[in-house]
Amino acid sequence: MKNMQKGFTLIELMIVVAIIGILAAVAIPSYQNYTAKSKFAAALAETASPKTGVDARIADGTVPTKEDIGIKQATANCTSNLLNGFSSSSEAGTIVCTNQWWP
């Protein structure tokens, strides 16, 4: 009777390790980019509520302030939130969210 060999050879194991290494080298940077994009999208979503508040204040003819429209100094995704350039005579201005996650 023949003696049957059980298990894997060293070459087979090395090929499997190499394939796993290649997959990891491709997947890890893609995953990091994906998480950064999702955090950036969350930061943009945090500016949606202040936009509505600014529109309401401008429609009333008043100058929006951070306290009026509920902008917090810092949130989970924005390290600082600023309201710049709004006046009673102009609708031009910016809402700035400094995002710590986007490179």
How many Cβ atoms sit within 10 Å of the Cβ of residue 75?
A: 15
- Six token digits for residue 16: 């499997």
Considering the domain boundaries, does residue 77 fall inside one? yes
Number of domains the chain is built from: 1
Is residue 94 assigned to a domain? yes
Amino acid found at 3: N
In a domain, 63, yes or no: yes
Residue 5 within a domain: no
Averaged confidence pLDDT in the chain = 79
pLDDT tops 80 at residue 41: yes
Q: Which domain holds residue 39?
A: 10-99
Q: Which of 7-21, 36-50, 71-85 has the lowest mean pLDDT?
A: 71-85
Q: What is the mean pLDDT of residues 55-79?
A: 75
- d(CA 21, CA 10) in angstroms, rounded, equals 16
Distance CA 15, CA 32 (A): 26
Buried b (16+ CB within 10 A) or exposed e, 46-70: bbeebeebbeebbeeeebbeeebbe
| 41: in domain | yes
Q: Provide mean pLDDT across the span 35-52.
A: 81
Q: How many residues does the chain have?
A: 103
